[in-house]
Structure 1
Amino acid sequence: MKKLLTNPLVLIGFIIIASILLLAIIAPLIAPYDPDAIDVKAILLSPSSIHLMGTDGLGRDVFSRMLYGARISLMVGFVAVGIATAIGIVLGAIAGFYRGWVDTLIMRIVDVMLSIPTFFLILAVIAFLTPSIWNIMIVIGLTSWMGVTRLVRAEFLSLRNREFVLAAQALGAKDARLIFTHLLPNSLTPIIVSSILGIASAVLVESGLSFLGLGVQAPQASWGNILTDGKEYIQFAWWLSLFPGLAILITVLGYNLLGDGLREAYNPRSSQH
């Protein structure tokens, strides 16, 4: 814990993410307007004390939509990474623990999946599905588990022949006990770091899909479709592109700082310097 509290990357990343999460949670309490309310008398108003981030082409308050968009973007990140991490842990644990032909089969599947550009794979799958937030979360999760699988496999292979594992095995511990009591708990730190970095990637993917019109559909707000609205007015309504772009940038930066800080804090090599 002392390492975390004294690591500036962890502190900055945590403050950024905690602030965004807090704003997303209390969005209904602090949003000054209904994010979907159309007001033809307030179309494309610039930022002011009445509309902090201006309004869009339908007169909707951008600040309110940004707050509710944070909920969507973060929810997609958490759920998608949760799905990917669960799949990766199961497959990586099986490959690293049992090895042999099981390991070979799983890793060849991973190699095939990694040979396909992830974003284009997601686009191809989304094209055959009805665009919805749940489909996006599931598809991102089902196409992002390969890195976690390789990480968990590597951790299991390095721990498999450790003394405490061999001792438990000699005492007659079953496979499930070895995996869930001895191997998996000692592999959690890199898994957590990978998951945090994965949330940043999922937020970017969701924003990209929504920007292309294949993600969250109007009138539901997400940072990606707010950016899409802004591209039509970018020459004279700069705020429609600036604020969602900054939100994506700061959020991804926060997760990356937090993930890198955790990796540095728990890296034995870094503690030696």
Structure 2
Amino acid sequence: MKTLSFSAMTALAAALSVPASAIAQTETPAAAPTAEPAPAPKLTGNVTLTTNYKFRGQDQDQIGRNDGTFKTSGFKPAIQGGFDYAFGDSGFYVGNWNSSVNWLKGNSIESDIYGGYKFKAGVLDLDVGMWSYLYPGNTAGNTVEFYGSVGYTSEVAGTFKAKYSGTVSDDYFNYAGNKAGSGLKGAGTGYLNLTYSKEVVTRLTLNAGVGYTFMSPDIRSLGYTNYLDYSVGLAYDLGSGLSVQGMVQGANHEGSYEVTGTDGKTLSPNKPRFIAAITKVL
């Protein structure tokens, strides 16, 4: 995400090729090399079809915290997509990502807006920014976080990354019920995520991750515990920006998040699922 100047030898050869009479007739200094244009901004897009959308180990298609209705099937397809806009080589970027969801009454879409700055520190890749999770049909779920990550890539060992996100909005995905007047806060909730990826054979990549959610004191007072989530799977590059993935995702402390539906059935969004997805990068 470098430019070259004119060679001194080229300039000297050009000067020597000018007739002496021409040199005598002008005192104009040689023109400075023209600067190369800055790298152009880059816009990329993506679209995904998935059999289930989990976020931090939890299903995003059940309304358990609102009216007690949900699907018990592990097949809960979602369509997702967005774009990223990089400002040349400056390191700054903005983006938008969207997904169909069904966990918040009156809302069927998650629309995220984010921006940040990526830079290098020796062999480390650093990234800091802000992420807003928005639910247009029911703003009670809106959540804003600041994040920072550090990554390291080795051709032999693969890529390691650690990321921490901290909630700065009044609530954390409506867990505290702040907008409904509970008087409780979700601010201060944190999430630590460790990931690893490695191409095991040509075009086939192993992806694994583990995360830990630190709920705010107010959310814990409602009986929700801190919990650990996990993900492991494989992705295969089909070429031309198309890839397929298969993974297992879930979380512990299922009982702390279990809900009972109007039909008397119980379900935990932390339950492990096998998820298949296909993605196209545009």
- Fold in common (TM above 0.5): no
TM-score (normalised: structure 2)? 0.22
Q: Normalized per residue, which structure has more helix?
A: 1
Q: Which fold has the larger relative contact order, with Cα–Cα distance below 8 Å and residues 6 or more apart in sequence?
A: 1
- In our comparison, the structure showing a higher alpha carbon Rg is 2
Q: Normalized per residue, which structure has more strand?
A: 2
